[in-house]
Amino acid sequence: MAYSDKVIDHYENPRNVGSFDKGDDSVGTGMVGAPACGDVMKLQIKVNPQTGVIEDARFKTYGCGSAIASSSLVTEWVKGKTIDQAAELKNSAIAEELALPPVKIHCSILAEDAIKAAVEDYKKKHTVGS
């Protein structure tokens, strides 16, 4: 199966690889796995607590090219968005941007799940006493 140019670009030049300190109050961490193939994706966001805007994002993905490309793309997309906007990100938009074939759709779902989990984690840290 041929990968699209965008998948190859993100795979060869992944954006925002790395991680933030999980314990940092301004960081939300999402870690998800794909039962179908065993791939694992960690996606982290750094949020401005005043505005709720995502200022930076990082990922680490152990998986196929499409999973790496999906997480790389998501870290680019969520920067400058509010956490609520980021949580609305749809895997179909990722799949469309990367021109993923049907068997690789679950790779983009992994990225959607990861960003949602990261937002959830951030929110959990900031609902102190409520």
- What residues act catalytically? 37, 107
Select the residue interacting with ligand FES from 66, 71, 72, 91 (CB under 6 A): 66
Select the residue interacting with ligand FES from 43, 54, 64, 83 (CB under 6 A): 64
Of 20-28, 51-59, 89-97, 103-111: span binding ligand FES (CB under 6 A)? 103-111
Minimum CB–partner distance for residue 68 and ligand FES (Å): 8
CA atoms of 44 and 21, how far apart (whole Å): 9
Find, among 46, 42, 38, the residue nearest to 18 by Cα. 42
Helix axes 65-78, 91-98, angle to 10 degrees: 110
Of 3-11, 18-26, 33-41, 42-50: span binding ligand FES (CB under 6 A)? 33-41
Q: Does 106 bind ligand FES (CB under 6 A)?
A: yes
Q: Does 110 bind ligand FES (CB under 6 A)?
A: yes
Given the rule CB under 6 A, which residues bind ligand FES?
34, 36-37, 39, 63-64, 66-67, 104, 106-107, 110
